[in-house]
Amino acid sequence: MKKKYFYTMLFSAACLTAAMTSCSLDETDYVDIEKNNYMNDASEAEIVLLGVYQAGISDGAYSMNLSFYLNMGTDCEQVEGSTTENWRIVPTNAYPTTQADIQDTWEALYTGIYRANDFLERLSVKMNSFESDDDKNLAAIYLAEARSLRALYYFELVRRFGNIPLMTSTAMADQHPSTFVQVDPVKVYEFIEADLKYAVETLPYATEDEYRSSNDFRFSKGAAMGLLAKVYATWAGYPVQDELKWEQAANIAGQLIKSGKHDLLADYEDLWYNTCNGIWDPTESLIEISFYSPTASASSDPVGRIGRWNGVRTSQIAGVRGRCAANEKVVHAFVLDWRDEDGIGVETDNTGTVTAYHYEPEAGTPGYDCRRPLSIANFQYDEDGKKLYARGSSDTDETARNNDVDPNKRQKEKQNYTPAKWDIEKYVQPANALINDDKSNVNWYVLRYADVLLLYAEALNEWKGGPTDEAYSAVNKVRRRAYNDTNHDLAPGMDQEAFREAVRKERKYELAFEGHRRMDLVRWGIYYETIQETYNKQMNWWPDANYVVYQYTEKGKHELCPIPQRDMDLCKQFKQNPKW
């Protein structure tokens, strides 16, 4: 959010440490008194609520780790380079339990939970003295927003760390670390479910909000419903595998779809223009993290790293634009698989001589998947903003494009393809530009309506033992936008397994590089197997290809992050995740 929150927390419940003992009793009492004197009406409560939102903007949260950094190491995305040095250690699964990035994410999420708990406890008491009905109605909405945020933060924790402590009140932060215990993930999911059900009942749809003066980038009924569907689908998968949750996932996603309150944007590219320019459009955006700062000069500014790490490579021009390092690369086996869908590549005769090139079409060309050229950049930008298709090459554009599809040329350069959705040079307008090598004002989609459509289709197929008409309709709606025709609808008559694979493939294409793939592979129970399969594809493509994550990924280990070592040392009753 774009407002400052009112007070700073004295300690982080995420650490589960006795760090608060470094504060004197006078300091603690003073802050408690200040907080007790605040939130006397809805406007004051809203300022504090924005502090709960702001917990999601740190590097440990969606600025970096929860958006792209912890989600690399799949069949679609990997970190650049051929070593595990420096920032490469986490995306290659080579990191230890003491890794600071893992601790940062754990801490950021528990900080958000503490703030949500504190807000809920204080507003629940304060709202009883609110004089106007409008303030009371707003307070109810704010409570639902805080519970939605708490559910989101817990969802990220439980699906990434597994057995975690459940902090349900601020008073629990006063306990000695040795008293903390982990709970069964089912208990966490039940807690998340209760929060989101409350939010669904309380929040208005984004387009029907009569109380909040602005609901930009704020939780709505549709956002809570969509998140609950995703929670159920994850609950149904590995490691909990409660398959009864498929029915609940289908039901809540179906309610959202049938409400007609959300839809797909007509133009897929508008999604990336909007998120690169801070444009709020709740048509398809359900949960979106907003980053904005005019200067990025203060550590508290809500800027992110979106587009700098995971965008198109761009050199710095002093006073004009910042550098895009493009440290996230596209796994080339993914490029080849996706191109095969539309026959992109080359034709050869029986001697292996290239006889025809089938180029990547321009985005929006009917009959071709418009998402591919909008998702994968086979180019970088030079000093004049011109696209260079062959990195460092002086080839003409036509020659470069020939090399791009030729399976025998410039293989090394093909490892430098990057995500294109957050193309700062292309999309960011001057009003939203931030001249900085590390930070950007580009937003991050946590949940889009397209994700809900595909979850709905998946859940129906799993619940019913095969695809229904509604399941086909949901997937085909996504595909029709992608191809701009109806000729690419899924083939009718699929059995459960065939439809399952079709949905999984569609999720890979529609949501490429948006932070979902690794979590999908984990909940499907195929993360390790997919890494092995991708390695073989990479080697078949080019024996010198880099795919370092293959060397370090272990089955039964890297489906979860480790419990941070600092917390293991302090919380004596904790048990570490398997193989860590």
Q: What is 110-159 written as a DSSP string?
A: HHHHHHHHHHHHHHHHHGGG--SHHHHHHHHHHHHHHHHHHHHHHHHHHH
**Is residue 254 predicted with pLDDT exceeding 60?**
yes
Q: pLDDT category, 347, cuts 50, 70, 90? A: confident
Q: How big is the chain, counted in residues?
A: 580
Q: pLDDT category, 28, cuts 50, 70, 90? A: very low
Mean pLDDT of 286-294: 92
Mean pLDDT of 22-38: 49
What CA–CA distance (Å, rounded) separates 151 from 153? 6
Write the CATH number of the domain with boundaries 1-14+26-202+544-580. Answer: 1.25.40.890
Query: Which residues fall within 8 angstroms of residue 117, CB to CB, at 6 or more apart?
Result: 13, 150, 167, 168, 169, 170
Helix or strand (DSSP H, E) at 449: helix 449-464
Q: What pLDDT, on the 0 to 100 scale, is given for residue 353?
A: 84
Q: pLDDT category, 408, cuts 50, 70, 90? A: confident
Q: What pLDDT, on the 0 to 100 scale, is given for residue 9?
A: 27
Which of these, 163, 159, 161, 183, lies nearest to 238 by C-alpha position?
159
pLDDT digits (tens, 9 = 90+) for 354-404: 888 888 877 777 788 999 999 999 989 988 778 887 655 556 777 777 778
Q: pLDDT category, 520, cuts 50, 70, 90? A: very high
Q: pLDDT category, 16, cuts 50, 70, 90? A: very low
* Tokens of residue 247, six digits: 């029915």
- What single-letter DSSP state applies at residue 300? T
Three-class DSSP category at 209: coil
**Is residue 96 predicted with pLDDT exceeding 50?**
yes
pLDDT digits (tens, 9 = 90+) for 104-125: 999 999 999 999 999 999 999 9
pLDDT digits (tens, 9 = 90+) for 327-341: 999 999 999 999 998
Query: Which residues fall within 8 angstroms of residue 248, CB to CB, at 6 or more apart?
Result: 232
Give residue for tokens 């709202």: 127
Q: Which of 13-27, 35-49, 398-412 has the lowest mean pLDDT?
A: 13-27
Q: pLDDT category, 523, cuts 50, 70, 90? A: very high
Positions of CATH 1.25.40.890 in the chain = 1-14+26-202+544-580
Name the burial class of residue 9, with classes exposed (0-12), middle (13-18) and buried (19+) by CB atoms within 10 angstroms of its CB. middle
Q: What pLDDT, on the 0 to 100 scale, is given for residue 22?
A: 25
* Tokens of residue 409, six digits: 């040329």
Q: Helix H segments across 260-316?
A: 268-276
Instruction: Give whole-number Cα distances, 33 to 36, 113, 144, 164, in Å.
Output: 5, 21, 25, 32
Which of these, 514, 506, 515, 504, lies nearest to 477 by C-alpha position?
506
What CA–CA distance (Å, rounded) separates 359 from 398? 10
The mean of the pLDDT values for the chain is 90
pTM of the model: 0.93
**Is residue 36 predicted with pLDDT exceeding 50?**
yes
Q: What pLDDT, on the 0 to 100 scale, is given for residue 38?
A: 86
**∠ CA 529-533-537 to the nearest 5 degrees?**
165
What CA–CA distance (Å, rounded) separates 224 from 203? 8
For the chain, give the percent of residues with pLDDT over 90.
Answer: 77
Q: Which of 247-256, 292-301, 309-318 has the lowest mean pLDDT?
A: 292-301
What CA–CA distance (Å, rounded) separates 378 from 403? 11
**∠ CA 373-374-379 to the nearest 5 degrees?**
60
Give residue for tokens 């779809």: 257
**Is residue 410 predicted with pLDDT exceeding 90?**
no
Helix or strand (DSSP H, E) at 82: none
Mean pLDDT of 305-310: 95
